[in-house]
Amino acid sequence: MYTLPVDCSTIVVNGIGYQQCSNGWYQPRYVGTTVQYVVVDPPR
């Protein structure tokens, strides 16, 4: 996923930044200079 929904918030858990949106949790991954967001399980 290259863009996130507009209703996301940045949450930092154990030093890792996540995007929490109404439809799930995402973590940014860099592919070269492009950021892609990967769906992840909610952090604990």
Q: State yes or no: pLDDT of 1 exceeds 70.
A: no
31 φ/ψ angles, rounded to the nearest 5 degrees: -120, 95
Cα gap 30→36, rounded to integer Å: 6
**What span, in angstroms and rounded, lies between the C-alpha atoms of 4 and 14?**
22
Q: What is the pLDDT of residues 6-43, one digit of tens each?
A: 889 999 999 999 999 987 999 999 999 999 999 999 98
Domain extent listing, the chain: 9-40
Q: Given this model, what pLDDT does residue 7 score?
A: 87
The pLDDT score that the predictor gives to residue 20 is 95
pLDDT for res 4: 86
DSSP helix/strand/coil, 33: coil
